[in-house]
Structure 1
Amino acid sequence: MRQFFLRLQFLMLCLSLSASLFAQPAIQWQRTLGGSDEEYVRSVIQTADGGYLLSGRSASPAGFDKSDSLRGRVDAWIVKLNAAGEKEWDKTLGGIYGDDLGKVAQTPDGGYFLAGASYPGGGGDKAETSETGELWVVKLNATGNILWQKQLGVENYYNAGVRDMKMLPDGGFILAVGAQDIGGYDNLNQAFLMRLSADAKVQWVKRYDGLQPRDAVSVQCVSLTSDGGFVLGLETTYFEDHPDVYHIVKTDAQGIVQWKRVLGVLEDGQASVVRSVSQTRDGGYIVGGTSKALAFSEKSERSLSTDYWVVKLDRSGQKIEWEKTIQADRPENLIDVLELADGFVVVGDSESSNTGGLDKTEPNRGVLSTWLVKLSNAGQIMWDKTLGGSFYDTPNASTATRDGGFVFVANSASPVSGDKTEPSRGGADYWIVKLAPENLPLPQTTLRINAGGPDFTTATKKLFIADKYYAGTDRTSSIASGDILGTTNDVLYRSARSAPSFSYNIPVQNGQVNVTLHFAETYFGVPGTKGEKGGTSSRRFHVNMEGSRILTNYDIFAQAGGALRANQVTFPVMVTDGILNIDFLTGAADQPRVSAIEVISTGLNLAPVADTYIQAAQFLNTNFGTSSTFEVKYSSGDISKRRASYLKFQLPAQTPVISAKLRVYGHNHENNKGILLHAYGVNDDSWTETGITKQNAPAASTASLGFVAVNDVYQYYEIDVTSFVKAQQQSGETLVSLLLNDPSNQNTRLIFNSKEAGSNFPQLVIQTTNSSARLGEEEVLVESKDKQPSIVFPNPVKDHFTVSLSPEHAGPISFEMINAAGKSRSVPAPQNIKPGENTELNISGESFHTGIYLLKVKSDAFTEVVKVLVAE
């Protein structure tokens, strides 16, 4: 019986480990970057274009990944990568001795702000000479060229350095600074916050004391809080050699202390050192660091060595909601805690092997490896992951990414080994690793978000989910009551996300989506509020979608026709990376505000689940499934030259296909003639990418579905395959296989990118809904089936037409025309419009093209839509 239970325990342990391993995020890509000597990476940010900027220092001359020669002994080294991790540019910056611009942020104009330590001396890129060692701040443009630079000091202190930096909503910066007291006892370290304007003018400097007199105080990290203030982590060391503790300080926007919190015990040998602190989405705080402490009143688990210790505080910063000691058998060093959608990722390094009963489930790859631990929102370990090569790979910074994953940067001296796929360039290099989202929410064809508010279901049973997928300055506003004209869904418009800048990064299926933004002005022009005197031009802001400007200085008050009125705009957007990016940016006045967002998919870009080619003769049994290309060629005289390609796509479930087009990117490899590429349907979907050969490939099941002429120009070539895709779906198939071939025996080689190519993948572009059918999606519309409708005549309409208004309208009445893409435009109307009477509208100067439109008639009573045809 005892052996049975031992076997059962072993089985449960294996199942537990398997579940943990299965949950780990995959490496999307990684890059090793460096020169022939030593590099030390200190920070990483994701840039507005989806790429990444790394900053640190380098002792290497030009060579390998480093383009510039040294200025001094050690210089700042900045590297810009694109979204796929490929280097776009790098810059070396420094003086004749040594400099460090280890902290970086992107500015609203697309440039970069860097801050760090400046060693004594000038020369090189430095415009000023420092005698005592000061802060050096540099503004770069989008391509890395210096726009301006300054050296800053802290009065009566020397050897200043930047420990952390964050950009502020007004374009300025907050710097966490450490410096030494010129006249103090033993020149102890001191901690400061320094607030800079956007052009690096010092606005104020505040110093923060230790827990007792004569403490050495070092500031480790700073983060912004939702009230405009700051929370910082201090490392406080008693002069009498007492141990460190977590020392958390919360300040207001002027750096004035509001509260403090000490976490740790004041006993020798039980040091606890804070490394990360930030405010969480629920208004509390997450604190991370390392601890040697035994269990005590606020720490439930005993540290065996130097372990990760993570603490979740409530909104007041005083009450512990949960805390977790994360253990292994050797020392660990925590460097960051990232908040993700469903918990927290702890980033650090480890010397430990995996030892039964502890929290580390994977062995180190080398001497020092990166160790990641995922915690749930309640502090429970969900998985852990060890990454690195055979020597040492120690992380120094990390950041969450807009797709729901994250990246970390490490100092790496490992060769190709373990998880490292690229060799070391020199003694130590930058190593950046991009981790995929664990469970990216399944893309939906319809998604509605109540910006700044909770779940809300409209009168027409449409669910707007609670606010999510946002990033940037986390600030919302709402009013408790108030009648919002033009809608029955008042609750939806009373809340909003409103801040100087923020974004939404929404998982969607690739393809075209209609995005509707809902607005209502609930501050400017509202009687009885501080903004009562405001009106037109009081709030003007910009909106970008997928990197393109779609609204410039948008004025909610003007567009809606006053305060407390619902208004919405709709735009068709093409999404190719699975994430819809919407950026709200400060414009000419005040700050952006949005009440709700709707995303309705009208078409999908499906990537292949498998693609490859086959070849005859001596390649009869050769599989080409891992190739970055697939090919087509047919020669009647030489069978060894014959090639054909196969692609397989997964159709979306329960989404009727209206049209389907196959798009492949490539060219005629041999000449500039237009060679006809044909597509055929294949009923047998059992072939696999790594198993198919000429010997076992399924035959075509249909005649040619269509063709396209492929010439020597690299581009997408498109073939309509609607008939086969619709037939497959209607017969209950969820997979679609297609064969590409040249039936004309033109003996010419066509080469196309496969899904392994890294860019310009094959696509099956399908339309799933009629993009002009907006009636069912307009959340401001009230179903009017029980109301007498308005009537348009004549219909088709030209420059002028008449609307016989429903007598059930009430209050001010407005008109909008919505085109097939869902974009709306107001129609000028006469004054003193009365319900139940005829109103003539004139659209002669509005440049409406021929086609079907929806005329939206809005009043305080209800909103209705009438379909009209605009004729020539």
Structure 2
Amino acid sequence: MTKIYIAILYLFGIFSVCAQGTKTLWQKDIKSSTQDFLSTMSITLDRQIVLSGSAIQKSKLSGVSTGGATSTNGGYDYRLLKLSQEGNILWDKHFGGSKHDYLVSTTTTREGGFLLTGTSYSNQSLDKKDNNIGGSDVWLIRLNEDGEELWQKTLGTKNNDEAAAVTQSLDEGFFVAGNINSNKNLFGSKDVFISKLDKTGKLINTTILGGNALDEVQEMIATPDGGSVLLMYSTTGKTENKTFITLETDQANSENKAVDLLTSLKGEIEAKTLIGKTEENFGEGDYWIVKLDKNANVEWQKTYGGSADDHPKTIAFTDKGYLIGGESRSNSSGNKRENIEEGTDLWLISLDKNGDELWQKTYSFGNRDVLMSANVIRKTNKDNFSEDKGFLLGGYTQAEGKIQTDDEKFWMLYINAEGKEEWRKHVEGKSKKKEERLVSAKLQTDGTFLLAGTSAEELGQENWKIIKLGDKDLDNLIEKQEIRIYPNPVDDYCYVEIGFELTGEAEIILHDMSGRQVQTTKTKNKVTKVNTSNLPQGIYVVSATTGNRSVNAKIIKK
């Protein structure tokens, strides 16, 4: 549950917006009679919206597909809700066992499906097919694009384990990261694990990271070389690696072989070496970033911080390496070079591909600044290659002590590729009647912006809420493309996205390089999934035609 409560912070009235050049396109309330938790918002390959979190399901929901459990369970269940870009509910799914199950992170997969990861207190019951290994474990569920289960897996140690993040790797497998609580045989009060799974859920490898105090996963991203990068909050100093003798283990005799089981995520797979932190901490809490290869083996690690508490929140992949950001209470000290202005300021660091600093900047909105998102804005250069144009940051400022004019308002900050501020704006809330909490903020490829969170009508009744914004400054940032195709190169399918408004039906036609038409698809949607499984390897031209307008692009079939 750690990640849920870190991410969900109090705001009031942010969803009724009023800012120059900003307009509300639509908003949606998903009603609940219980206190539901929203953890993440994702955008699918077909550009639909997915909200994921935890809910108490009292009975089968009428009028929508529920999937999974349909009767009263023993507590919270995973909930996954898919909406169209117009805010219409497409389907609503629940998955749970007989006790509490908290959905923490959701990633979209290359074939259009999802992998859910959360913290489960349930043994085998209802939708859950495996018993827990400890008090709480990590429960993974793989779904297809319609929200139907493909497989599930439980990972854990004898202690209490927390899910934190999941992402798909280049080889279509997955990296799963989380935290292991209070184990004297590991490093500190809380350590970090990262596991590599293949696309069927088979566990390939596990690495455990830690120091002598508390370390927690904040975010994880996949990298183009097939590996991943972990961003963590760390209160620990330099710590030596630990090595354990591996034993044959199983759940039945785990009490007799606790040391070995505590170094593994599942009894038959051992983490033989525990990787300690290689650098000392600079203050109360620091940014800790670790790069892993395709098998979850550590390649390098770096620590960034000042003399006070610095809390990382987000990481993004850039054309030069990585952008990491969070909140800082440190003045110039450690390897932080700028003072804060007031309370907690934003601290961004641009890194190269080896984790070494390129530049760092501090930004202030007054009081306690909270970073929620960092979006990379791309452009096409003169050589027709894509490069970073700048970064759009989203967040809000909490009141600490004296309340200032722009406290409790969502803000956007645009900086160029070198970190220079270009503009900032506040999105002001009008209504103070409901308690509202911002959970996620995402910039879309069409220049619109999504805010998702919860609102409470009454105590104990917390609804999910989502709003879609249009903004002229954001629209000007986005480089418009008349046609986009992804993934490219393609395997069995690709998505064709038309970048202009459709006036009627569009026709998507594939030609081979001899000009022969090999496939035709008709659609009324701006994003269409095209089956390429029967095409031989080679280069093809994809044309999208509607009315008198036609655009085309090339794809490579692997």
TM-score, with normalisation over the residues of structure 2? 0.61
- The change in CA–CA distance for 1:277 and 1:570 in structure 2 (over 3 A counts) is farther
Check whether the contact 2:406–2:426 (CA below 8 A) recurs between aligned residues: no
Displacement of 1:511 after TM fit? 10
**Among candidates 163, 166, 178, match of residue 218 of structure 2:** 163
Displacement of 1:345 after TM fit? 3.0
Displacement of 1:105 after TM fit? 1.5
Q: Does 1:469 align with 2:484?
A: yes
Partner-residue secondary structure (3-state), 1:181: coil
Check whether the contact 1:117–1:162 (CA below 8 A) recurs between aligned residues: yes
Match of 2:152 in 1: 90
Match of 1:788 in 2: none
Displacement of 1:221 after TM fit? 0.9
Amino acid at match of 1:192: W
Per-residue CA deviation, residues 468-508 of structure 1 (Å, 9 max, x unaligned), is 43457xxxxxxxxxxxxxxxxxxxxxxxx999xx9653359
Check whether the contact 1:337–1:345 (CA below 8 A) recurs between aligned residues: yes
- The change in CA–CA distance for 1:653 and 1:221 in structure 2 (over 3 A counts) is closer
Amino acid at match of 1:573: Q
Q: Percent identity?
A: 21
> Structure 1: how far apart are the matches of 2:485 and 2:117?
26
> Structure 1: how far apart are the matches of 2:157 and 2:221?
25
**Among candidates 159, 162, 167, match of residue 100 of structure 1:** 162
Displacement of 1:201 after TM fit? 2.2
Q: Does 1:506 align with 2:497?
A: yes
> Structure 2: how far apart are the matches of 1:367 and 1:379?
36
Q: Does 1:62 align with 2:164?
A: no
Instruction: Output aligned runs, 1:549-564, within 5 Å.
Output: none
Q: Does 1:325 align with 2:427?
A: yes
Partner-residue secondary structure (3-state), 1:171: coil
**Among candidates 366, 372, 375, match of residue 275 of structure 1:** 372
> Structure 2: how far apart are the matches of 1:347 and 1:94?
33
Amino acid at match of 1:80: R
Partner-residue secondary structure (3-state), 1:342: coil
Match of 2:227 in 1: 172
Check whether the contact 1:80–1:88 (CA below 8 A) recurs between aligned residues: yes
Displacement of 1:72 after TM fit? 0.7
Check whether the contact 1:75–1:95 (CA below 8 A) recurs between aligned residues: yes
Match of 1:43 in 2: 105
Displacement of 1:379 after TM fit? 5.4
> Structure 1: how far apart are the matches of 2:456 and 2:26?
19
- The change in CA–CA distance for 1:257 and 1:466 in structure 2 (over 3 A counts) is same
Partner-residue secondary structure (3-state), 2:461: coil
- The change in CA–CA distance for 1:576 and 1:46 in structure 2 (over 3 A counts) is farther
**Among candidates 423, 441, 452, match of residue 348 of structure 1:** 452
- The change in CA–CA distance for 1:470 and 1:192 in structure 2 (over 3 A counts) is farther
Displacement of 1:161 after TM fit? 2.3
Partner-residue secondary structure (3-state), 1:60: coil
Check whether the contact 1:323–1:379 (CA below 8 A) recurs between aligned residues: no
- The change in CA–CA distance for 1:513 and 1:21 in structure 2 (over 3 A counts) is closer
Match of 1:205 in 2: 301
Match of 1:25 in 2: 87
Per-residue CA deviation, residues 160-183 of structure 1 (Å, 9 max, x unaligned), is 222111111111111102221248
Match of 1:256 in 2: 356
Instruction: Output aligned runs, 1:543-692, within 5 Å.
Output: 572-573=518-519, 575=521, 579-581=527-529, 597-599=541-543
- The change in CA–CA distance for 1:290 and 1:322 in structure 2 (over 3 A counts) is closer
Match of 1:337 in 2: 441
Q: Which has the higher contact order (CA 8 A, sep 6+)?
A: 2
Amino acid at match of 1:469: R
Displacement of 1:254 after TM fit? 2.0
Total equivalences in the alignment: 401
Instruction: Output aligned runs, 1:474-485, within 5 Å.
Output: none
> Structure 2: how far apart are the matches of 1:221 and 1:95?
27
Displacement of 1:234 after TM fit? 1.6
Partner-residue secondary structure (3-state), 1:469: strand
Check whether the contact 1:53–1:80 (CA below 8 A) recurs between aligned residues: yes
Q: Does 1:292 align with 2:398?
A: yes
> Structure 1: how far apart are the matches of 2:297 and 2:123?
34
> Structure 1: how far apart are the matches of 2:353 and 2:440?
24
Partner-residue secondary structure (3-state), 2:509: strand
Match of 1:231 in 2: 323
> Structure 1: how far apart are the matches of 2:236 and 2:531?
44
Q: Does 1:75 align with 2:137?
A: yes
Q: Does 1:196 align with 2:296?
A: no
TM-score, with normalisation over the residues of structure 1? 0.40
Match of 2:345 in 1: 245
Per-residue CA deviation, residues 7-48 of structure 1 (Å, 9 max, x unaligned), is xxxxxxxxx999746994211111122222222222111112
Displacement of 1:317 after TM fit? 2.6
Q: Does 1:53 align with 2:96?
A: no
Match of 2:61 in 1: none
Partner-residue secondary structure (3-state), 1:63: coil
Check whether the contact 1:293–1:303 (CA below 8 A) recurs between aligned residues: no
Match of 2:8 in 1: none
Displacement of 1:367 after TM fit? 3.5
Unmatched segments (≥5 aa) in structure 2: 1-21, 29-84, 239-279, 332-339, 380-388
Per-residue CA deviation, residues 792-831 of structure 1 (Å, 9 max, x unaligned), is xxxxxxxxxxxxxxxxxxxxxxxxxxxxxxxxxxxxxxxx
Displacement of 1:75 after TM fit? 0.5
Which protein is richer in strand relative to its size?
A: 2
> Structure 2: how far apart are the matches of 1:349 and 1:55?
19
Check whether the contact 2:109–2:115 (CA below 8 A) recurs between aligned residues: yes
Q: Does 1:303 align with 2:406?
A: yes
